[in-house]
Structure 1
């Protein structure tokens, strides 16, 4: 027995010693500090080996946008990275970035883990933006079971002229939230009870920043308008997947509450051409498209504009009266909402089917669909389906502009 115990002790000592030796050797050969990240050849940041590039930039106050919590699905945190220290693109990046993006050294900052020194290029407006500004919530209202409109009053000294398609960064403070405390209108109460969303709880011990597109119209001068979709766990995974950190906090806001914003930023804008414009949206992809349409009509454009918007049922369709009114006032604007699964009580007489199917049915009768410009915004699956439809219509990629929400 003594020999067995002595042998076991020797093995334990050897294993512990070898582990300690390997850790010491790794630390000597691969130190975890002292990496240099050069940003726009103007700022140098110290970083630790293994840190994500997005985390390094955010810790330095450089507000690269991100909407998916670091999962690599939204594609917003695109930066240009050179240097061997950034490694090679991950599989998640190859699913979001095109071949031309990768050839141009474009990376997703949230998926780039640092192995050594590297150089990064970010938009100049993001680098010079500085910290956020504290604003005041003017109003909130629920537009659909999981979508809330939040209107924010901006300080007088903050720029209030936005370009349609811009987004802003929203920073949520540490907080705890029991969803039973949320004010849910009667119209949506049954959906919340049936889905179990009332039972959710969420907590955050640190500040978290996310990017949200602006839905502001010209008449909203001095204010920032957002359409926020509450990120809820997939059905059956409520115990393992938490609700969205920032979207949950935003859903809890009331008029008079403080909110920290930075921006605006963005490069998803209407192109200054004379081509007909076709907008295709879904979910909170509504926000930038709403801003663009109001901007163009408000400026008196003579370009023809068509807007296709997809929702599941009538409960998920919002701003419908607003766009119907616009189509009545402007001969050059048409509005086609489509429901993929209208409920029996919806009494729906409009277009039925997925939005890309309705787009095909109508644009295949257009005399020259390949001559139009297309602006897309919505979930990645919708974007993929619409892109395939546009390829069938013979539309060249240079006439397609899109932003997907992969949260």
Structure 2
């Protein structure tokens, strides 16, 4: 029906002809919009904002971002840009249209050339955009690095009790002049040609002599940098940075044993990093006087005025600082119990707690039930012991293991110093 007039049915051929005419445009009609994709492109670039009359108050915040000038979750100036390569009249002659999609109009080096009818282009534009988000190509390295080097100051909501302050001393390095930096090696055209970029990265911008070359996509570079920060960078980085975590193997190891009711027990250990019993090791040789000192410190921290109680439970308190000789996680009732345990071990090794090395992880009670149900194996009902039981265990004894001596050397038994 058009203008009140009933349009007669034209048959299947007529319907197809009308559809193709709308898709390909009319050679006699010079109006570009009639080609069928221009209006769609305008809305696509702005992520299809709803009209002012639409009721979007009840929508979740992310679904309202287009109407809040944040199309596709980006700043308005960084929204996509679709550039028309062959104009509508030329496209009408050939039967298809050619477009270049720039997912971020501020970064022209990334683009995707698309060709097809308007219906095909509408589908392809949305598929390319969605695929980028699913594979992580939507990450912009420069924007990420600005936040990284400053310790993510915009992320404030859950940092009331963080180990990393928002202001003052730099959270990654201690001082702002020590924050990381990078230098771009590849030009925009090279990044486009090769599909990756190469940078030179400094963990500490004040130290010009220690840098490492990183290469990959923006997402891969982010992963590289995080790995270097928390894991020392691996063998490739150690050659350039000369700054990796020290090895724990071969260093003197102190072990502490705990006992509780109903056969409950516990065992923890840490390494002494400033002494060695290996003549080839350049560190000072460990002495009998050192062993006496460790035994005395163990007694002071774990046996007097009463035996120290390790409150074991479902939660995990981990402490990773190889420079201090620690790389372990401990099951505790809560963070306070974990801190108490780790602090006393550190005191024996002659160190203080480093907050940046401490992590606390909670576990739901349903994951580790106190009374797990029985199971049936080969027709027999088998009772199951609780994983991560909540139990108190008290300090029982301590020993030290040296790499060149096969048997451990006993240091303490409860409040009594065995090695003197």
- On whether the aligned pair clears a TM of 0.5, the verdict is no
- TM-score calculated relative to the size of structure 2: 0.23
- TM-score calculated relative to the size of structure 1: 0.24
Name the larger-Rg structure. 2
